[in-house]
Amino acid sequence: MENRWRTARGQAARHDPLAGFAFRWAAGATPVSIEDYRRRARRVLPDMVWAFVESAAEDRVTVEANREAFRRWSLRTAVLTGQLAPQLEATVAGVPLALPIVLAPTGSTALVHWTGELGAAQAAERIGARATLSTFATYSIEQVAAGTGESHFFQVVPWADTAPDAQELVLGLVRRAARSGYAALVVTVDVPVLGNREWERRRGIGVPPVLTPGRVADVLLHPRWLRGCLQHRDIALRTVVERGRPAGTGARDGGANLLQPGASWESIARLREAWNGPLLVKGVLSADDAEHAVALGANGIVVSNHGGRQLDGAVAALDALPAIAERVRGRADVLLDGGVRRGTDIVKALAMGAKAVCIGRPYLWGLGAFGQPGVERVFEILGTCGGWRSRSERTGRSTSSTRTSSRRRARSARSRRSRRG
Ligand code: FNR
More confident residue, 120 or 390: 120
199-223 as b/e: b if 16+ CB within 10 A: bbeebbbeeeeeeeeebeebbeebe
Predicted pLDDT of residue 396: 55
This model's pTM is above 0.85 = yes
59-98 as b/e: b if 16+ CB within 10 A: ebbbbebbbebbeeeeeeeeeeeeeeebebebebbebebb
Closest CA to 380 of 90, 33, 131, 29: 33
Q: Is the pLDDT of residue 349 over 80?
A: yes
What's the mean pLDDT in 94-112? 96
**Fold of the domain built from segment(s) 34-74+89-420:** TIM Barrel (3.20.20)
Residue pair 98/89 in contact (Cβ under 8 Å)? The answer is yes
Closest CA to 358 of 283, 272, 254: 283
Predicted pLDDT of residue 233: 67
Q: Counting atoms of ligand 1 from 1, which one is nearest the CA of 361?
A: 30
Residue pair 189/156 in contact (Cβ under 8 Å)? The answer is no
Specify the range with the lowest mean pLDDT, choosing from 21-25, 194-198, 207-211, 340-344. 21-25
Q: Is the CB of 338 under 6 A from ligand 1?
A: yes
Residue pair 416/166 in contact (Cβ under 8 Å)? The answer is no
Residue pair 308/273 in contact (Cβ under 8 Å)? The answer is no
Q: Is the pLDDT of residue 321 over 60?
A: yes
CA 53 centroid distance within chain = 12
Q: Is the pLDDT of residue 344 over 80?
A: yes
What's the mean pLDDT in 268-284? 98
Residue pair 117/145 in contact (Cβ under 8 Å)? The answer is no
More confident residue, 262 or 112: 112
Rounded (5°) CA angle 353-184-70: 30
Residue pair 294/301 in contact (Cβ under 8 Å)? The answer is yes
Rounded (5°) CA angle 183-115-341: 70
Q: Is the pLDDT of residue 185 over 80?
A: yes
More confident residue, 279 or 232: 279
Q: Is the pLDDT of residue 216 over 90?
A: yes
Q: Is the pLDDT of residue 243 over 80?
A: no
What's the mean pLDDT in 76-89? 88
Side chain identity at 100, as an amino acid letter? P
Predicted pLDDT of residue 252: 45
Inter-axis angle of helices 361-370 and 34-44, nearest 10: 50
Predicted pLDDT of residue 22: 80
Predicted pLDDT of residue 336: 98
Provide the pLDDT confidence category of residue 207 given band limits of 50, 70 and 90: confident
**Using CA atoms, how far apart are residues 336 and 12, in angstroms rounded to an integer?**
59
User: Probe ligand 1: pick from 309, 335, 363, max atoms within 8 Å of CB?
Assistant: 309
Closest CA to 148 of 416, 352, 328, 335: 416
Give the distance (Å) from ligand 1 centre to CA of residue 108: 11
Closest CA to 116 of 101, 125, 126, 106: 106
Q: Is the CB of 188 under 6 A from ligand 1?
A: yes
Q: CB neighbours of 86 closer than 8 A, spacing ≥ 6? A: 385, 388
Q: Is the pLDDT of residue 114 over 70?
A: yes
Q: Is the pLDDT of residue 383 over 80?
A: yes
Provide the pLDDT confidence category of residue 130 given band limits of 50, 70 and 90: very high
Predicted pLDDT of residue 320: 98
Query: What are the domain boundaries of the chain?
Result: 34-74+89-420
Predicted pLDDT of residue 32: 93
State percent of the chain over pLDDT 90.
68
Give the distance (Å) from ligand 1 centre to CA of residue 57: 12
Predicted pLDDT of residue 253: 47
Specify the range with the lowest mean pLDDT, choosing from 19-33, 113-127, 306-320, 327-341. 19-33
Q: Counting atoms of ligand 1 from 1, which one is nearest the CA of 136?
A: 9
Q: Is the pLDDT of residue 246 over 90?
A: no
Closest CA to 269 of 288, 293, 247: 293
Peptide bond into 261 cis (omega under 30): no
Task: Indicate which residue's Cα is closest to atom 9 of ligand 1.
Answer: 107
The DSSP code sequence of 268-279 is HHHHHHH--S-E
Residues in a beta bridge with 279:
185
Specify the range with the lowest mean pLDDT, choosing from 47-61, 164-178, 303-317. 164-178
What's the mean pLDDT in 193-216? 90
What's the mean pLDDT in 14-29? 76
Rounded (5°) CA angle 240-244-247: 70
Strands 95-97 and 90-92: antiparallel
Give the distance (Å) from ligand 1 centre to CA of residue 362: 10
Q: Which helix (H) or strand (E) holds 126?
A: helix 116-127
Q: Is the CB of 112 under 6 A from ligand 1?
A: no
What's the mean pLDDT in 351-370? 98
How far is CA 367 from each of CA 238, 342, 376, 398, 400, rounded to the nearest angstrom? 19, 17, 9, 15, 17
Task: Indicate which residue's Cα is closest to atom 15 of ligand 1.
Answer: 53
Task: State residue 309 phi and psi, 5-degree precision.
Answer: -90, -10
Which positions are catalytic? 306
Predicted pLDDT of residue 254: 46
Provide the pLDDT confidence category of residue 370 given band limits of 50, 70 and 90: very high
Average pLDDT, the chain: 87
Q: Is the pLDDT of residue 17 over 80?
A: no
Predicted pLDDT of residue 250: 46
Task: Indicate which residue's Cα is closest to atom 12 of ligand 1.
Answer: 106
What's the mean pLDDT in 310-320? 97
What's the mean pLDDT in 29-34? 92
Inter-axis angle of helices 287-295 and 317-328, nearest 10: 50
More confident residue, 390 or 57: 57
Q: Counting atoms of ligand 1 from 1, which one is nearest the CA of 63?
A: 31
Predicted pLDDT of residue 417: 53
